[in-house]
Amino acid sequence: MADKILMNKNFLAALKAELKEFKTALPVFEMKEQQLKGVVQEIENSIIRLQKSIEETNTKTKEWVAVMAEDTIDLSEIVKIDNVVTEKQEIAGATIEAFIDLKFENIEIDLFDTPLWVDAAIEVIKDQKTDLLMIAIKRKNIEILREELAEARRMKNALKEVFIPETIDNIRKIQIYLGDVERLAIGCAKLVKKKKQDKGASV
């Protein structure tokens, strides 16, 4: 919006066009705000579910801890992440990473030299690592989406509380001014006409 108000019809027309654009943009930002709020809430709920799953698994596997501690097998050397597969996803103008898959290094295990519980433990660790990685990705996505949400909210509030009211007020001022000018011009024209008539009558 221009800083200086020009009291003419061209500027009035420009303000009316600007007001129309503002009113068109407002519902877009309102809808974007609602969409982002919904997605953030959905991701937060997903993180809670993953954390609960991790906690439940930890509780169930506590009985293995003593066995693992006594053994010489280092599961951290067996379960190693090889590759994280994600893809970019666009949500209401924000680009986030969508988790696709987590690939682990293929480590061969000597079934004769390892205890029976190792296979089960490896699967549990893979699941836990996958859940933890998904949580990390989701938390990063939430940060991105919250920034976009804050921007959408700022734009919505600016349009609703500043740009639209100010533009309407400026349009009203110009219309009042132009109305006064028009009435003054009509009054002057009538006065000139009357003077001519009076002058003609006195001749």
Residues 7 and 134: their CA atoms lie apart, in Å, by: 59
Q: Stretch 122-143: mean pLDDT, rounded?
A: 93
Q: What average pLDDT does range 108-115 have in this prediction?
A: 68
The C-alpha atoms of residue 153 and residue 146 are separated, in whole angstroms, by 10
**Cβ proximity of 105 and 118 under 8 Å:** no
Does the predicted model carry a pTM greater than 0.85?
A: no
What is the overall mean pLDDT for the chain? 87
Q: How far apart are CA 11 and CA 29, in angstroms?
A: 27
Does residue 75 or residue 183 have the better pLDDT? Answer: 183
Instruction: State the average pLDDT over residues 124-130.
Output: 90
Q: Domains plus CATH for the chain?
A: 9-201 (1.10.287.3240)
Predicted local confidence at residue 3, as pLDDT: 65
